[in-house]
Structure 1
Amino acid sequence: MKADMEPQLPNSTGEIFSSYPAFLPLITDGETLFSWAARYHRLSGNSLAKQSSIQLFGDRRAGLRHDFPSHLQKLADITQGQIGNAETLAYERTLFGFFAPFQDVQGASNVLSQMHGKSVEKVKSALGLLPSRLGAFFPLKSCQDCIRDDLRKYSVSRWHLEHQWPSVWICRSHHRMLHALKRESQPRDLRRWLLPEDLKAEEWTGLATSSGAMKKKLVWIAELSAHIAHLRDQYFDHQLLRYAYLLRAKDRGWLFTDGSVRLAQVRQIFLKYLGGLDELPGFEMIRSVHAEHGGMLGLLMRQYDWRRHPVKHLLLIAFLFESVAEFDATYERVRQTNAQGGTDALEGMIGEVWKFELKRLVEFERRSLSGAALVLGIPLCVAIRVAKQEGIEYQKRPHVLDATLKEKIRKMIIEGLGIEEILRESEIKKTLLREFMSRDPALRDAWRMKDFERRRNNYRTNFLELIDRYRGIPVKRLRKVSGNGVSWLHRNDREWLTENLPHMKS
């Protein structure tokens, strides 16, 4: 190479590229800063990786940190902003944009300052990665089809930023599982400028091909990751995120009336939905949900003061929500509710409005606590606890029946009302009702007959509707229809069943 074409160190004004514009390649859509610098290194003719790093970043190793490089302000000055200013480079060309929305304003500013400056030694700690147990190692990843397409289009391959996000293990363009650089081939700071095409087959770790259903879920996680990673200058409040999760769980029927999570049920559904992904690197925390305390689910849906890894949030969001728009709308609703009414309004939105209804039923409608609990559909023990906490005055249920109440109960028994209805109307304990009925065998037997007739009529009506709806199908298939009642009728009303289904086999 001629002497006047050899790359030189920046001059005092940092205008190396005004003299050598060919050394500054265009940065392409979705390309990482490390990828762009690797392409620059190839064009520069430099023999040593540190030479290109010094020319671009003013430091021999700054640019070789593919995840969180330092000296970004120096790079922006040297390139005269032609590939973006320091902040844009951090958000749009490094992993910072993925983690930033889960920081607060001060935390994000602190990390940006380090990346703009000379040292990023504390960046991963500041982002909360070191105590997260997920580690702070981010392997370079690529899609084999993207490599082929890039070589055809650009004559060189690239590292796509989206593929590098910790939550992404599939290419959204090709629906192909990503390959990752083996750890032994990738020390903490790379020693060479790598492009995907430079790697040998044995340097890649290929992931097993997932089923179509699993791929669909991975694509959804990747879409969600892309949306959140582009929320520049927008930061999630972790407590508001928790309320957004709870509100969505409430919509799905996964909360008790008091707003607490039906954790056993949610764990089971979560593992059915995402359990097959726990073999992917960085997704191992899914296994923690097997624990009785719920693992990552419990940590995200209960109140804690410290941040959680973004991957945990993304997995839970992907599980709870059907679309990006649905998540955004739910979070915005929570944010506005908090702005207008604070924590009390949030608690009311999730489920604690029932406390006010309990007070109204007991103090104004003069219902017993047990009767109010039945109306609200909450356990009596919960109603008692809340009544004591809120100072709700209530009368204990009678342990002795007076003549008026006895007559009221007797009439309901003769009418054949259900047990729950009798308890609700009389506001007595179930044990007291059982004791009352046991003292009068004739009354008890009369109620049993009425109860049998009521249930028999319900089963008959339901069965006639069933055979009309599924006209012509065999009895064997009818038995598989939920709530068919065939077994009960076969045991208790076989003659009627035979008359209405003459060809039924015994």
Structure 2
Amino acid sequence: MRIYDQGSVHWQPTVALNWLEDETFFSVCSRHHVIWGSPDAMTTFRGLFQSEGNSLPHDFPHSLDALRHPMRAVLGDPDVIISRRTIFPFFRPFQSQEHIQAALNIMKGLQLGSIKYKLGLVTGRFGAEHPLKACHACIDADINNHGTSYWHLCHQYPGVSICPIHKQMLQESIHNRQWSGRFRWTLPDKGDLTSWDFAGFNSITQHALLQLSNSVLDLAALGNVRSFDPFIVSSVYRNTLQEMDFLNSISQKAAPSLAKYAALLQPYHSLTSLPHTAQKARTYIEHLVRNPRGHSHPLKHLVMINWLFGQVRDFIDAYDRAKAEKAEKAEKAEKAEKQSVQFGRVGQYLQFEGSAESTETLPQKLKPKVLKPHTRSEILRRLRKGTPKKLICSEFKLTISTVNKLLRSEALVKKAWTESTHNKTLLKNRSEWKSLIKKHPNSSAKLVRSENPKLYAWLYRNDKSWLLKETERLPTGRTGNNSKVDWALRDEALEALLITKLNEDPCSIRSSKVSNKDIYTLAPELSICLKSRNQYPRTRALLQKVKNCHQPSKLH
């Protein structure tokens, strides 16, 4: 059936397809392209939207406010489409409300703009590209049940590598990639999918990938109803590490454990950025347990959550408990503050025992009085030693104004009291800082500081030279962008991968001209690796050889 009218200059479609189960917005748009018989991508786009565009990103669509009325009547309004038919809900729980609203406005607007940068995907080390993914078994089932294949939303989330229905490895589409040329409306086709062999992973890795895939889907299901305070999240991580006896020995226990877990996930190409050494794992942990400065990629949190809790549900239980405890403490502090205002600015809370009639036990307000000579001498002696003013007020039944007046009249005593008080505070705060370092012996200065920011601030203002000497002895916590990267080994591995792919499918390069697209279709990870322009010389040489030979024999 062909609905597009070639003779109409201002053709507007009247047929709108309904949703299929778990279908993405890009998928239903692609089905319209097929059913309408549109001659090109631009015609379909302008049939869907009252806009001059010609392409639509499959992960974060835009122009939703410009959706034509017949489409909107069937598919729903922009908010419904975003929340139910895109991968955006997966990114919401760990994101700020400001960035969420900005992203929603961008998707409703006419240009996608910097949405991936705002969500932290460009710098998140998990990649900003989200290839279309499909399951072979789902394709067969959908064609049998609906007469067409389509893109399932549950397959498209980053980190989902296994179909939750058939437990098969998802395959990536070669279309609409950074290296695949112009945009096209497309539906799943086995011939357009890369080949990933799930059986090639050992059973432990298969289980870890399935566990992560399930956690991604659990988080996405919560995306429209939950959001997590980053400060409470970091405290949950710290408390859990403390319970596991990991917090005080991140380097000795926690880091090797996380690196071992991450190694199970790294065989999957989109997770290769996970820490593979204890040093990098330690940095990974410290970044998530310190007081946050920004928002991390959801996958970074999920790897941490799966490692610590095993599943998202247990993390949420711990988060809700921590949130309730924080609210309870805030409520108690508010009540205490109200009570202190009611009972005067004495600086102490009055505790009552018995009934409400015990108000006669309130202390009477003290008044300034003339001091006897021997009393005055004793008070001055105590002040020279740095005795706290409140203690003197309590022992000698004086008001604070009397003590302050006495100090003003004795300049030398005031100077001695100030110096003594400062020295006592200095020694006390130094001792507290050393205790923190003992508590976190292998942590960086940033992590130690995050445990008690006020203490660090006081020492920085009043004892800076001592503090800097102490912090210089601590690990920096930095690994550097290229720390301990064995580029030669990576080059050998990538070259071996390419040789394997070429030998498995030699027919794919038997053409008069071999393009980058042909090569990247065989091994999609090449496009990411070769962005490091000064690395992978052996792989680049092999690529050049393949392009020059056109029909190479078996490569070795």
- TM-score (norm: length of structure 1): 0.61
C-alpha separation in 2, matches of 1:76 and 1:320: 47
The one-letter code sitting in structure 2 at the alignment partner of 1:172 is: P
Matched-pair contact (CA < 8 Å) for 2:132–2:172: yes
SS at match of 1:262: helix
How far is 1:213 from its partner? 2.4
Distance 1:301 1:250 in 2: 11
Give 1:379 shift.
Answer: 10
Aligned residues: 342
Partner of 2:160: 168
Is the 2:59–2:130 contact (alpha carbons within 8 Å) kept by the matching residues of 1? Answer: yes
Q: Which runs of 5 or more residues in structure 2 are unaligned?
A: 334-434, 441-447, 457-556
Runs of 4+ in 1 over 6 A off after TM superposition: 1-11
Whether the 8 Å contact between 1:254 and 1:262 is mirrored in structure 2 is: yes
Match of 1:337 in 2: 325
8 Å contact 2:208–2:264 — kept in the other structure?
Answer: no
C-alpha displacement of 1:55: 0.9
Over aligned residues, Cα RMSD in angstroms?
A: 3.4
1:123 aligned onto 2:111 = no
1:204-241 Cα shifts (integer Å, max 9, x gaps):
24255322222222222122111211220422222211
Whole-Å separation in 1 of the counterparts to 2:83 and 2:7: 29
CA gap 1:381/1:162 in 2 versus in 1, 3 angstroms: closer
CA distance in 1, matches of 2:320, 2:7: 51
Q: Is the 8 A contact 1:142 1:163 kept in 2?
A: yes
SS in 1 for 2:92: helix
Deviations 1:386-428 (A, max 9, x none): 9xx79xxxxxxxxxxxxxxxxxxxxxxxxxxxxxxxxxxxxxx
Structure-2 change in CA distance of 1:144 and 1:338 (3 Å): same
How far apart are residue 262 of structure 1 and its match? 2.8
List aligned pairs for 1:138-153, cutoff 5 A. Answer: 138-153=130-145
Q: CA deviation at 1:273?
A: 2.6
Do the aligned partners of 1:71 and 1:115 also contact (CA within 8 Å) in 2?
Answer: yes
Other-structure match for 2:146: 154
Q: Partners of 2:253 and 2:218 in 1: how far apart? A: 29
Q: Distance in 2 between matches of 1:83 and 1:118?
A: 19
Cα distance in 2 between the residues matched to 1:95 and 1:4: 30
Residue of 192, 201, 216 corresponding to 2:207: 216
How many angstroms apart in 2 are the aligned matches of 1:134 and 1:3?
A: 41
Describe the SS at the equivalent of 1:279: coil
Verify the 8 A CA contact 2:92 2:100 in the aligned structure 1: yes
Measured at CA, do residues 69 and 4 of structure 1 come closer, stay the same or move farther in structure 2, by a change above 3 Å? closer
1:283 aligns to what? 271
Does the 8 A contact of 1:169 with 1:218 survive in 2? yes
Q: Which amino acid aligns with 2:308?
A: L
Q: Distance in 2 between matches of 1:189 and 1:237?
A: 41
* Structure 1 residues 97 and 189: alpha-carbon distance in aligned structure 2, compared to 1, 3 A threshold: farther
**Separation in 2 of the partners of 1:188 and 1:214?**
30
Residue 225, structure 1, aligned to residue 216, structure 2: yes
| CA pair 281-239 structure 1, distance change in 2 beyond 3 A | farther
Deviation at 1:118, TM superposition (A): 0.8
Which residue is equivalent to 1:41?
Answer: 33
Shift of 1:186: 5.2
2:272 aligned partner, one-letter code: E
Identity across the alignment (%): 26
3-state secondary structure, aligned to 2:270: coil
TM-score by length of 2: 0.55
Q: Residues 45-124 of structure 1: matches in 2 within 5 Å?
A: 45-59=37-51, 61=53, 64-75=56-67, 77-124=69-116
Matches of 2:35 and 2:152, distance apart in 1? 19
Cα 1:250–1:341, aligned 2, differ >3 Å: closer, same or farther?
Answer: same
Distance 1:106-1:56 versus aligned 2 partners, 3 A rule: same
Contact conserved, 1:289 with 1:295, CA < 8 A, in 2? no
Q: Deviations over 1:229-267 (max 9, x none)?
A: 1220422222211112222223333233xxxx5343112
Unaligned runs of 5+ in 1: 346-377, 391-506
Q: Which amino acid aligns with 2:133?
A: K
Contact 1:57–1:63, Cα closer than 8 Å, also in 2 = no
Choose 56-65 or 95-104, whichever is displaced more: 56-65
The Cα of 1:338 is off from its aligned counterpart by 2.2
Residue identity matched to 2:328: Q
Q: Distance in 1 between matches of 2:252 and 2:329?
A: 31
1:295 and 2:283 aligned:
yes
Deviates more, 1:320-329 or 1:305-314: 320-329
Q: Residues of 2 paired with 1:24 and 1:189: CA distance?
A: 29
Structure 1 distance, partners of 2:436, 2:99, is 44
* 1:43-75 CA-partner distances (Å, limit 9, x unpaired): 111111111111112335465210111111222
